[in-house]
Amino acid sequence: MKDGELDDILKRAAAAQPGPDPALLDKIAASIQPNMRPVRPLPSARKLHIALPAACLAIATMVAARLGLHGLAAMSGLQFLVIPLVPILIGRAAAAWVNETIPGSRRREPPLALLAIACAALLALFAALFHDPLADGFVHQGVVCLVAGLATAVPVALTGWWLLRRGFAVSPTGAAIAAGTLAGLAGVAMLELHCPNFQTWHVLVWHTAVVPVSAAIAVLLAKLVQIRRAHVDAR
């Protein structure tokens, strides 16, 4: 059987399908009539694609400047590549978050793939640029960096949430992963500017960890909100 014949059969079957009752359509129209007021559409995706990463980078830079730009001062040679490359990932994650909050947007990759790409890219970048094999105070210094990165992620996530507050996430979990990834990457950007510890394992493990931990926290929060809403609906 050819595709055209199959199309015809499907269309005939669809045409024979009984539609909704006209009375139901009148009821739907009547139910929205009392709330008919003009609404302001969301800003264009392009504006949001620029505003969101710009805000993230501004916050990360401000936090790093407040704590001291010791990492930037200690960088040499190719290590400066971190400065333009992390913002590229931030731009991509910001675009993903924007797209997750506008129904029917084009999706370049699933949010989970974005998270994996971001982590893999950071690991590759850090492995290529940092070659100090020592691991002094691995856990103690690492936890300090992880906490500082996550603390930076909080205002970034709140700012993003405020910018996108009028959006509607058809997949709350996907939006949470994108949001957490973006916030985590802003935390990494802050750490690269601030942290002067260039020991390979420290950067690879603790700086990169900010991204998945931030995404996990965001997903957890989204799930809690969903559970709470379900309880409210059930009442």
Partner 1 sequence: MHPDGELETLMVRYQQGDFAAATALIQRLSPQLHRFFAVQFVSRPSADDLLQETWLRLHEVRHTYRPGEPVLPWLYAIARHIRVDHYRKAGRTSAREQSLDETPEMPAPRAAPAATLTMQEMLAPLPESQREVIELLKISGMSLEEVARATSSTVGSVKQKAFRAYEKLRERLGQMGGAS
Where do contacts with partner 1 occur on this chain (CB under 8 A)? Answer: 1, 3, 5-14, 16-17, 19-21, 24-25, 27-29, 31-33, 35-42, 44-45, 101-107, 109-110, 166-168, 170-171, 174, 230, 233-234
Which residue lies nearer to partner 1 by CB, 44 or 76? 44
The Cα–Cα gap between 44 and 1 comes to 45
Nearest distance from C-beta of residue 31 to partner 1, angstroms: 7
Nearest distance from C-beta of residue 46 to partner 1, angstroms: 10
Nearest distance from C-beta of residue 37 to partner 1, angstroms: 5
The Cα–Cα gap between 196 and 217 comes to 27
The Cα–Cα gap between 91 and 56 comes to 9
Which residue lies nearer to partner 1 by CB, 174 or 184? 174
Q: Are 182 and 93 in contact (CB under 8 A)?
A: yes
Nearest distance from C-beta of residue 15 to partner 1, angstroms: 9
Signed CA dihedral, 128, 60, 93, 44: sign only: negative
Which residue lies nearer to partner 1 by CB, 116 or 204? 116
The Cα–Cα gap between 195 and 207 comes to 9
